[in-house]
Amino acid sequence: MQDPRLRILSVLFLSAAAYASIAGALLTLIWLFLYPAYLLSAIRSKALYILLPFTAILALVMHIMGENGLSYFIRIGILLLLAFTIIRGWRPGEFLDLGVWLFGPGIGFDIGLAIELTVQGTDDAARDWSRVITAMKLKGMRPDIRNLAPISFLMIHLHLLRAGDQADLLITRGYKSGGSCCPHFQTSNRDIIASLCAILILFVSFMAVRDIFILAL
């Protein structure tokens, strides 16, 4: 989606729908096919398959305790897929524009800048991980539980060094609080249609939940 405002609203609607019911989760999955390139990139993400086993473990625990673990796994799994798909559409500067548009050039600029640096740090961490894995393969090593701790320490150390450099750069440029930013958004017809579909999915998901409650009564 080109317009980050509609993207955030759609994510909020779809997240509520996917968490509310299986019907909402499945409709959210169908909605993701509106952006096949981002969806395919999310499916190929290794981080997604790192998080899914933890979700499966929680679902198994819920099943053992007598809860509907399968429903939980499907809903949370699709929520994760939604998050990984939407983040693929992020472009540098969007969160800064969105923060200033929502909260003004003071606190809005600070919030937007913090989110921009966080997302950038996540991307940098992913690239650092790829470099570490490549270096280990060149040395004939394989990542396992034994070298997980030193790899994690190295990535945290790199992240702290990079954060220090960014802080020094902001201080050098005289940054204290707030800033000047003129938000600019482009809204396409596809964005509007996708947002309307997200609202419809939220409505349908809560209708399904209400029907379940009526049957239970």
Contact between 31 and 14 under an 8 Å Cβ cutoff? The reply is yes
Per DSSP, the three-state class of 143 is coil
Query: Total domain count for the chain?
Result: 1
pLDDT digits over 99-108, tens only? 888 888 788 8
DSSP one-letter code for 79: H
Domain coverage including residue 209: 4-216
Mind spelling out the 3-state secondary structure of 11-47?
A: HHHHHHHHHHCHHHHHHHHHHHCCCHHHHHHHHCCHH
Q: How confident is the model at residue 204, as a pLDDT?
A: 85
Q: How confident is the model at residue 42, as a pLDDT?
A: 86
Please give the average per-residue pLDDT across 153-168, as a whole number: 79
- Tokens 């961490």 belong to 125
pLDDT exceeds 70 at position 211: no
Q: How confident is the model at residue 178, as a pLDDT?
A: 67
Q: What is the mean pLDDT of the chain?
A: 81
Q: How confident is the model at residue 13, as a pLDDT?
A: 93
